[in-house]
Amino acid sequence: MHLAAYQIILITIYAFIAINDSFISNTLTQPAIAGMISGLIMGDLKTGLMVGGTLQLMRLGIAAFGGASVPDYFTGAVLGTAFAVISGKGAEYGIGLAVPVSLLMLQLDVVARFSNVFLLHRVDKAIENMQIKRIPRLVLSGSVLWGLSRAIPILLMLLAGDAVVTTLTNNMPEWLMNGLKTAGGVMPVVGIGILLRYLPTKQYIPYLLVGFFLAAYLQVPMLGVSIIGVVAAMIVFSHDKEKNNNNTQTVTTAGSFEGGIDGDE
């Protein structure tokens, strides 16, 4: 498959808008959303959802605190989906390529943040000199630089990818292709493992085992397992809510009892 000009333009514009949206809602940069939108543009929604959903599992246990940079799974999802469709090798191939792309974009993220810090100091200086009209321009410049930090690399990779990716896939040894597919299959397990390690999920292990049993042994589709998971979450939520209400009533009763004694005295 060959990339059309409108596909390159749409994906580049989407990357520019999405990365600036990360300052507001952080919705468009979610790997699942990025994979879905890229898949729609590329004409293969299924592959986009598979690539983006797998990378979303990797991102669930990772967050950037205090300005720290983390692997850019957003860019990985966009390019992984595009390359998977171009090459025709499927989602496993796209996932295998998306991971190194995400790690490479980590370095460019640092450069983009450094540029914005430079502009921030210019804003501080403008405030000290009471140059109010310069502030909006500097802030807008920061947004433009931040958007270009993803739009330019994605544009360059897409322009080179049509020919380069096809050549690489046609000449890539079988052992490397198998390695990429294996790595792509392991990624969801790594994401789930991170969640189980750092989140308080030990009390929910039985639900995890039930979901595994349904999917592995009864061949229940993922939609069915998801519905059962929603029911389980509702049961847990109702149980915790009832428990909190009982604790509140106990404390209220104890307070009223103590007040009664004080009043009798």
Q: Which amino acid is located at 48 in the chain?
A: G
Torsion-angle region of residue 96: left (phi > 0), alpha (psi -120 to 50) or beta?
alpha
Q: What is the CA radius of gyration of the chain?
A: 25
User: Burial code of 4-14, b = ≥16 C-beta within 10 A, e = fewer?
Assistant: eeebbebbbeb
pLDDT above 90 (res 265)? no
Query: Per residue in 37-66, pLDDT tens?
Result: 999 999 999 999 999 988 888 777 565 554
What pLDDT, on the 0 to 100 scale, is given for residue 163? 61
Gap between the Cα atoms of 243 and 250, Å rounded:
11
The per-residue pLDDT of the chain, averaged, comes to 79
CB neighbours of residue 198 within 10 Å: 10
Query: Per residue in 77-117, pLDDT tens?
Result: 999 899 888 888 888 888 888 877 777 777 677 777 777 77
Overall size of the chain counted in residues: 265
The arithmetic mean of pLDDT across residues 128-143, rounded, is 85
Domain boundaries, the chain: 5-199, 200-265
pLDDT above 60 (res 166)? no
